[in-house]
Chain A
């Protein structure tokens, strides 16, 4: 190795770590806004909706949003790379049916669950193969596999449902931590959230995820394995969706082909609401968790206030559109501000 350090200037310049103080960066972050919104809804609902303050509300709320929280974790990373996975809810259904069919044919539930996880990982890997190796757009691929995996799930079990599961596992899925109102399913979710959070924020792999989302070409020129990264993420998405499928089956003691239909939209809504950019490159794991909480808390409070589900959908939908519009608007303002310099640079580059 050559020692060329002498050719360079001594490292004596100083740079501040951040151009803005900590409080500003936190207050202006998207995560802070969503967490603030969750707290606001909780406070308003506790005061104005009669049953909302009861512990049972929190229990059901967490049981309900558990699959969304789980799948939102890999979905966050996928959307940060600029891709999307619409097949997640179908993988939930497929793993649910796999578990039910194998178990009803005499396989122990533990072994059937492992097979269901493997099926989920394979389904995710097929998505990854089509997107990274064949080179198709993820939107098209996963719309296709959304139908394919759901079709397989319904085809395997028809309109029947497998409902014979051991009491131990089904009650575990609904159990609470000690005497608290918090369901046990929160524990694996927290563990997975930490794992995904570390993966995204504290590893070279995570740095690659962000770089791919902002500029796949620059990422490739930096030695980042763009295809390998995306493939891994789609496989993880399949695996976690299968896990959510097992939970879903046990919680309702029912393996059905149409389990969790439409869940992918709630997951994507939570991720986008949590400040992850649909164009890729921006977001964190905390945001989507808060986003899922906001959707859950809002739906729960409105339901207790006897608002019908179609109205709840209208409100969540409006919230999502408003949040995406707000993000785009802020980004537009930002480009407006720095544009003069940028434009000159582009023209000069084009000249050569």
Chain B
């Protein structure tokens, strides 16, 4: 802090907050101080611990250790109701309103003003809602149902609710992710007027232009820990990115040299309106291509469309020159495509069935003899592939859901490598798995590429992208905005491309 006078007591102060879920540590030392009449930005990579910190502020999680002060007094919230009562309001990226109730009813849900005999005072509710919108300077019909309102309008309802509760601290968790330019401007105008009323605001965003436009202070987090806080006027985008990434990333993943061959997977002009537009790229044999970008940029959607689980309205996917049919994963598998999906527990595995059945699920037709599938060849194949991937399981009939995250991911990899693919798509291959298994997965992917497999990897972890990829494709809002070679790929260049429009990158 550069302030020369003694700073006033912060409206909200967190000191060295720690939080672990079982063996996974989400926060080691979260520190944050919000001043009244100020908009404070919180930035960091995916998984840096921002969301966990917000959930502790909201009372959704309880801290394991550290200090949580509100107006200088220590607090312990065990529910969201308690944090609300204490004057904290959290506005999430996607508000959760009751769609069939009116705007007014949503604002006053659970605390409607009443007349005699407990009857709801609709007139007063209506007038108060009008008053709130007038204060925020927005035009919204308080009597219309919230169903069909844009996300921006829904957020404004949440803000109105927060003001009606006289919240002193407002937390906005990536509120602009789904908003258009004009909507962002309107939200910012509201945020500024709340600041001028003397409230403390916390603004979480991946977009640096917004951070610099709106906020006056910025706190950077990395790997679950506080890194730095500085006034916005005294820092630059470059410095923030350096602090966000801030480690020697290339040393983590020893990548093997692979002979890069011909194009195997070719995607041309793939479009699904509103999700991704005109996506074209190729993956060569022996090459690892990373799709980088922010969560929600449309990377997983592209992968799912290529594999055929999701639809697309235009474009073409070919493998070795043969067109992959639209919306037919079974046909894509026959052509040598395999997808290790993003959500291991919902998409990758049938959790309630055995390791053996999961491992052989994608090759079950190949294991038949005159059309019949017997347990013996099924178990033999499962034993071979589980063993090759060093899955730790007591028996072949152990339920997949009882394995650890890392071992579950190995079963998914076994399931797909058993199909002997020529193109392997891996979506967040190391999310939520322990460090040891993570390194094993990286070694495996690198060696598979070394043997000529074409790999498309989606990852939100920059070190993983920089360490593993031969080429990085950056996806922003459904478009591929940059293609960066291994030599040019740095944390700064990838982050910059992920947060800026293509026109700005070109400049």
- Beta-carbon contact of B346 and A218 below 8 Å: yes
Which listed segment binds A: B2-10, B164-172, B389-397?
A: B389-397
- Beta-carbon contact of A221 and B345 below 8 Å: no
- Beta-carbon contact of A17 and B395 below 8 Å: yes
- Beta-carbon contact of A18 and B341 below 8 Å: no
- The 8 A CB mask of B367-394 against A (1 = contact, 0 = none) is 0100111100001001111111111011
* Interface core residue of B24, B373, B374, B448 (most chain A CB under 10 Å): B373
Which listed segment binds B: A40-48, A203-211, A310-318?
A: A203-211
- The 8 A CB mask of B331-355 against A (1 = contact, 0 = none) is 0110010010101011111111101
Contacts A1-B336, A11-B387, A352-B431 known; A19 to B309 CB distance under 8 Å? no
Cβ-closest chain B residue relative to A6 = B451
- Beta-carbon contact of A9 and B388 below 8 Å: yes
Distance to closest chain B CB from A207 (angstroms):
5
Cβ-closest chain B residue relative to A212 = B350
Of the four ranges (under 10, 10 to 19, 20 to 34, 35 or more), the interface on chain B belongs to 35 or more
Distance to closest chain A CB from B465 (angstroms):
15
Q: Give chain B's interface residues, CB within 8 Å of chain A.
A: 21-24, 26, 46-47, 51-52, 285, 295, 307, 309, 329-330, 332-333, 336, 339, 341, 343, 345-353, 355, 357, 361-362, 364-365, 368, 371-374, 379, 382-391, 393-398, 401-402, 404-405, 415, 417, 420, 422, 428, 431-432, 444, 447-448, 450-453, 460
- The residue that A349 contacts in the complex, of B46, B345, B352, B385, with Cβ under 8 A, is B345
Contacts of A214 in B (CB 8 A): 350-353
- Beta-carbon contact of A347 and B453 below 8 Å: no
Contacts of B347 in A (CB 8 A): 217-218, 221
Contacts of B352 in A (CB 8 A): 214-215, 281
Cβ-closest chain A residue relative to B353 = A214
- Beta-carbon contact of B448 and A223 below 8 Å: no
Query: What are 21 sample pairs from A and B whose C-beta atoms fall under 8 A apart?
Result: A5-B388, A9-B387, A11-B388, A15-B386, A15-B393, A16-B396, A198-B372, A203-B371, A207-B361, A207-B364, A210-B350, A221-B309, A221-B348, A344-B23, A345-B405, A348-B21, A349-B431, A351-B26, A352-B428, A352-B431, A352-B460
Name the interface residues of A336-350: CB closer than 8 Å to any CB of B.
Answer: 338, 341-342, 344-349
- Beta-carbon contact of A4 and B417 below 8 Å: yes
Bound together, the chains give a CA A5 to CA B384 distance in angstroms of 11
Confirm or deny: A303 has a beta carbon within 8 angstroms of a beta carbon on chain B: no
Q: Give chain A's interface residues, CB within 8 Å of chain B.
A: 1-19, 198, 202-204, 206-208, 210-211, 214-215, 217-225, 281, 338, 341-342, 344-349, 351-352
- Beta-carbon contact of B451 and A3 below 8 Å: yes
Contacts A7-B448, A352-B460 known; A12 to B387 CB distance under 8 Å? yes
Bound together, the chains give a CA A206 to CA B378 distance in angstroms of 14
- Beta-carbon contact of B346 and A220 below 8 Å: no
Contacts of A8 in B (CB 8 A): 388-389, 417, 444
* Interface core residue of B24, B371, B432 (most chain A CB under 10 Å): B432
- Beta-carbon contact of A204 and B388 below 8 Å: no
- Beta-carbon contact of A19 and B395 below 8 Å: yes
Contacts of B379 in A (CB 8 A): 17
Cβ-closest chain B residue relative to A218 = B350
Distance to closest chain B CB from A289 (angstroms):
21
Contacts of B349 in A (CB 8 A): 215, 218
Bound together, the chains give a CA A212 to CA B402 distance in angstroms of 20
Contacts A9-B390, A221-B348, A349-B432 known; A203 to B373 CB distance under 8 Å? yes
- Beta-carbon contact of A347 and B362 below 8 Å: no
Bound together, the chains give a CA A195 to CA B390 distance in angstroms of 38
Cβ-closest chain B residue relative to A225 = B330
Cβ-closest chain A residue relative to B398 = A19
Cβ-closest chain A residue relative to B363 = A204
Contacts of B23 in A (CB 8 A): 344
Distance to closest chain B CB from A20 (angstroms):
8
Contacts of B371 in A (CB 8 A): 203
- Beta-carbon contact of B330 and A223 below 8 Å: yes
Bound together, the chains give a CA A215 to CA B352 distance in angstroms of 9
- Beta-carbon contact of A18 and B396 below 8 Å: yes
Contacts of B388 in A (CB 8 A): 5, 8-11
- The residue that B432 contacts in the complex, of A208, A218, A345, with Cβ under 8 A, is A345
- Beta-carbon contact of A347 and B21 below 8 Å: yes
Distance to closest chain B CB from A149 (angstroms):
32
Distance to closest chain B CB from A180 (angstroms):
32
- Beta-carbon contact of B451 and A7 below 8 Å: yes
- Beta-carbon contact of B387 and A211 below 8 Å: no
- Beta-carbon contact of A204 and B364 below 8 Å: yes
- Beta-carbon contact of A215 and B389 below 8 Å: no
Cβ-closest chain A residue relative to B364 = A204
Bound together, the chains give a CA A1 to CA B450 distance in angstroms of 14
Distance to closest chain B CB from A4 (angstroms):
4
Bound together, the chains give a CA A202 to CA B365 distance in angstroms of 11
Contacts A6-B451, A349-B432 known; A215 to B350 CB distance under 8 Å? yes
Cβ-closest chain A residue relative to B376 = A17
Contacts of A342 in B (CB 8 A): 401
Contacts of A344 in B (CB 8 A): 21-24
- Beta-carbon contact of A215 and B47 below 8 Å: no
Contacts of B26 in A (CB 8 A): 348, 351
Bound together, the chains give a CA A15 to CA B396 distance in angstroms of 6
A8-B417, A17-B397, A222-B329 are known contacts; what are 20 more A-B pairs with Cβ within 8 Å? A2-B285, A4-B417, A5-B451, A7-B448, A7-B451, A8-B444, A10-B387, A13-B386, A13-B387, A214-B353, A218-B346, A219-B350, A220-B329, A223-B329, A223-B362, A342-B401, A348-B22, A349-B431, A352-B47, A352-B428
- Beta-carbon contact of B417 and A341 below 8 Å: no
Cβ-closest chain A residue relative to B347 = A221
Bound together, the chains give a CA A217 to CA B349 distance in angstroms of 9
Q: Which 9 A/B pairs are nearest by Cβ-Cβ distance?
A: A344-B22, A7-B447, A13-B387, A2-B452, A4-B451, A223-B330, A19-B395, A8-B388, A16-B395
Bound together, the chains give a CA A219 to CA B379 distance in angstroms of 19
- Beta-carbon contact of A352 and B346 below 8 Å: no
Distance to closest chain A CB from B171 (angstroms):
17
Distance to closest chain A CB from B391 (angstroms):
8
Contacts of B405 in A (CB 8 A): 345, 348
Bound together, the chains give a CA A185 to CA B347 distance in angstroms of 44
Distance to closest chain A CB from B409 (angstroms):
12
- Beta-carbon contact of B362 and A222 below 8 Å: yes
